[in-house]
């Protein structure tokens, strides 16, 4: 069964802003969350569907990919990851959903206190260019890029010494503070420590207390056979390091393909124009055609072949991504009219032309017969 459009799932327009998407999801989450509908499998299904749609549409990069490629943007695998997220995690409690939009709220000062949360590093984008042959076979490439890595001088703590790293007095090391507002108690990120749970009195000189340093990294990436122009490959954990020793983000490879001097590509099909002489076109013959695999195929040209005639070579095209199947190669005959003829060649062609009759040129004779009928009809 095909997936529903994410915009339809949340009941929003495709040009809706983030606040409208967030509001729509909040309403659906409060309506269908399993904590509110115990034992209701249909409500659970609706909640999961809404959560999946929100995860994509609330993220600018994922939303852009979805707008361009639909659900197919998240079905591609490669490079140790999957699409833009590799599926959707389970759901938390109803209060978790409520907190995501309002903070941690409790009644009468009984709100619960959460521990310090790890902050994930930024995802990175890298454009990698490959040629058609590399797209056919798959290829490993070494790439280099600047990114934030955990500072090796302070091991990501941001402190020059152990004694310089102290527990935040404001939040007690939780990274969260609570404030009463009438009947409610609201929990928010601690402004004194920025949610890290500690303060630094002696910042690391190498990273200025950030816990991360900018560094040029070199890694080898694997590009699978069958990738196309615009393919996105997710490499998990190769993005920027997270603050306060948080997990790394991911690296996304955006594939571009170089033009090929012989072949053109459309998905898994390969196209090639093959020039032949008028003699081979008229009398028949054979021509040796290169394939994208690096091999050669001898193609038989039947007598009377015309300019633009096509032949399909089964299985000689591109491999399908993550599959053992191959597309076809389609060759198009280009009958080349000779130029710069000698006097003798011109004479021979004129003699040849005089020998032709309507049986030799059925298209020509048929056309002029129709033209004559057309003009006669105007008289």
Confidence check: pLDDT of 112 > 50: no
**H helix count then E strand count, the chain:** 9, 18
pLDDT at 88: 38
pLDDT at 23: 86
The structure's pTM equals: 0.56
Buried b (16+ CB within 10 A) or exposed e, 317-344: bbbebeeeebbebbbebebeeeeeeeee
- Residues 267-274: what's their mean pLDDT? 92
Fold annotation for 260-337: HSP40/DNAj peptide-binding domain (2.60.260)
199-243 pLDDT per residue, tens: 887 888 888 888 888 999 999 998 999 988 888 888 888 999 888
- Residues 157-179: what's their mean pLDDT? 80
pLDDT at 95: 45
pLDDT at 96: 47
Confidence check: pLDDT of 91 > 70: no
Confidence check: pLDDT of 375 > 80: no
Handedness of CA 122, 91, 193, 115 (dihedral sign): negative
Handedness of CA 7, 11, 17, 20 (dihedral sign): negative
**Residue 278 φ then ψ, to 5°:** -65, -25
CB 108 within 8 A of CB 235: no
Which has more pLDDT, 18 or 366? 18
Confidence check: pLDDT of 331 > 90: yes
Given 3.30.70.1140, 1.10.287.110, 1.10.10.10, 3.40.50.720, which CATH number is that of 1-93? 1.10.287.110
- Within the chain, all domains assigned CATH 2.60.260.20 are found at 260-337
pLDDT at 360: 67
46-82 pLDDT per residue, tens: 888 888 888 889 888 888 888 877 777 766 433 333 3
DSSP 333-368: EEEEPP-S--HHHHHHHHHHHHH--TTT-HHHHHHH
- Residues 331-347: what's their mean pLDDT? 89
Q: List the end-to-end C-alpha distance of the chain, in Å, as a whole number.
A: 63
76 by DSSP, 3-state: which?
coil
- Within the chain, all domains assigned CATH 1.10.287.110 are found at 1-93
* Residue 185 C-beta-side C-alpha neighbours within 13 Å: 11
22-54 pLDDT per residue, tens: 888 888 888 887 777 778 888 888 888 888 888
Confidence check: pLDDT of 166 > 60: yes
pLDDT at 300: 92
């Amino acid at each position: 069964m095909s997936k529903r459009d994410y915009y339809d799932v949340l009941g929003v327009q495709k040009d809706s802003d983030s606040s409208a998407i967030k509001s729509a999801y909040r309403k659906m989450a409060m309506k269908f969350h399993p904590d509110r509908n115990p034992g209701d499998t249909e409500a659970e299904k609706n909640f999961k569907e809404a959560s999946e749609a929100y995860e994509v549409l609330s993220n600018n990069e994922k939303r852009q990919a979805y707008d361009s490629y639909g659900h197919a943007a998240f079905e591609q695998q490669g490079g140790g990851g999957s699409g833009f997220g590799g599926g959707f995690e389970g759901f938390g409690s109803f209060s978790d959903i409520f907190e995501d939009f309002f903070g941690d709220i409790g009644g009468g000062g009984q709100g619960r206190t959460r521990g310090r949360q790890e902050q994930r590093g930024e995802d990175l984008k890298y454009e990698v260019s490959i040629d058609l042959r590399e797209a056919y076979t798959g290829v490993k490439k070494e790439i280099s890029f600047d990114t934030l890595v955990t500072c090796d001088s302070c091991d990501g703590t941001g402190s020059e010494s152990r004694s310089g790293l102290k527990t935040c007095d404001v939040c007690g090391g939780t990274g969260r503070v609570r404030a009463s507002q009438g009947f409610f108690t609201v929990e928010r990120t601690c402004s004194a420590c920025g949610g890290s749970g500690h303060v630094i009195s002696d910042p690391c000189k190498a990273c200025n207390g950030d816990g991360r340093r900018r560094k040029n990294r070199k890694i080898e990436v694997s590009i699978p056979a069958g990738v196309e122009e615009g393919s996105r490959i997710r490499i998990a954990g190769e993005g920027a390091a997270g603050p306060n020793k948080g997990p790394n983000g991911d690296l996304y490879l955006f594939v571009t393909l170089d033009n090929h001097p012989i072949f053109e590509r459309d998905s898994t099909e390969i196209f090639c124009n093959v020039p032949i002489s008028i003699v081979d076109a008229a009398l028949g013959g054979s021509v040796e055609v290169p394939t994208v695999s690096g091999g050669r195929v001898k193609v038989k040209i039947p007598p009377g072949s015309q300019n633009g005639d096509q032949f399909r070579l089964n299985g000689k095209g591109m491999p399908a991504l993550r599959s053992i199947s191959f597309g076809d190669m389609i060759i198009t005959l280009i009958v080349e009219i000779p130029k710069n003829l000698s006097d003798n060649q011109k004479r021979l062609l004129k003699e040849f032309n005089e020998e032709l009759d309507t049986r030799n040129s059925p298209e020509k004779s048929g056309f002029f017969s129709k033209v004559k009928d057309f003009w006669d009809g105007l008289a």
